[in-house]
Amino acid sequence: SQQGEEDPQALSIQEGENATMNCSYKTSINNLQWYRQNSGRGLVHLILIRSNEREKHSGRLRVTLDTSKKSSSLLITASRAADTASYFCATDAREDAGNMLTFGGGTRLMVKP
Amino acid sequence: GAGVSQSPSNKVTEKGKDVELRCDPISGHTALYWYRQRLGQGLEFLIYFQGNSAPDKSGLPSDRFSAERTGESVSTLTIQRTQQEDSAVYLCASSLITGGGWVEQFFGPGTRLTVL
C-alpha cells in the first residue's frame, strides 16, 4: 500500500518558474526521500531529509519536512524543460525491513520551454 | 560503472502464462528490492533480499508471485498464471547495506509487463 499522497498530481509551469510539490505520509519515519522518474522507467534519487531535519538544499532543490504535520515539500527553483518528469516522495519507516521504501503516487511535472 | 540491469525490458504475454523477470544488481550490493508500478501510480514494494534471504515476503500480492536470489547477485521474480491486473512496470533496486541507517537505493530501468 502507498503511505504517501502527493499533490498536485500534475503540474505545468513555464521555464524559469519555481515548482512546488507536496507529500503527506501517515506513519512515523526515519527519513523521507525524493526521487525523479523519466518516462515511467528507472528512478533517480534526488535528496534525503532525516526525521530530525527541517530543511535541506541541493543545487536548485529545496526540501522541507514537518514531522508534526507528516508532510514534506520539494521546491525546484528556476525550472528547466529538462526538469520535466514525475517526482515521488518515499518514506523509510521500518528499521527491520532493510531500507524498504514506501512511495507516494507522484507528481507529474511539465516544464514548458 | 555498471548499474542495475533488468531483463527483458519489455514482456508481452498471454493471460495464464508464467513469466520470469530478471534483475542484476550492482556488484557487491547486499540488498535487493523489487517494486511494482502500475500505470500512473507510485511504486508498490513487493519484496527485498538481504543476501540470498528474503526476510519479508508480505508485499507479494498473491501466491502466484515468487522471487529468489542466488549468489548474493542475480534475482528472478516469477509470476505464475499471469492475470491482466499483473500488467505493470516491475522495478528492481539494490543497495550496499541494509538497516542501521539510510543507504541509497539504485534502481534499474524496469521491465514493462503487459498481460493480454
Q: How far off is chain A from B116, nearest CA to CA, in Å?
A: 20
**Angle ∠(B47,B63,B18) on CA atoms, nearest 5:** 95
| Cβ-defined contact of A41 to B89 (cutoff 8 Å) | yes
Query: In chain A, which residues have their Cβ closer than 8 Å to the Cβ of B39?
Result: 40
| Cβ-defined contact of A96 to B91 (cutoff 8 Å) | no
Closest CB from A2, A88, A99 relative to B103: A99
Closest CB from B48, B50, B89 relative to A40: B89
Closest CB from A1, A42, A92 relative to B107: A42
Written as tens digits, the pLDDT of chain A (113 aa) is 445 678 899 999 999 999 999 999 988 888 899 999 987 678 899 999 999 999 999 999 999 999 999 999 999 999 999 999 999 999 987 655 556 788 888 999 999 99
Written as tens digits, the pLDDT of chain B (116 aa) is 579 999 999 999 999 999 999 999 999 998 899 999 998 888 899 998 988 999 878 889 999 999 999 998 999 999 999 999 999 999 999 988 755 566 788 999 999 999 99
What is the phi-psi region of residue B72: left when phi exceeds 0, alpha when psi lies from -120 to 50, beta otherwise?
Answer: left
Q: How far off is chain B from A89, nearest CA to CA, in Å?
A: 9
Which pLDDT score is estimated for A42? 80
CA separation for the pair A90, A111 (Å, rounded): 23
CA separation for the pair A84, A17 (Å, rounded): 13
Count how many pairs of residues, chain A against chain B, have C-beta atoms within 8 Å.
78
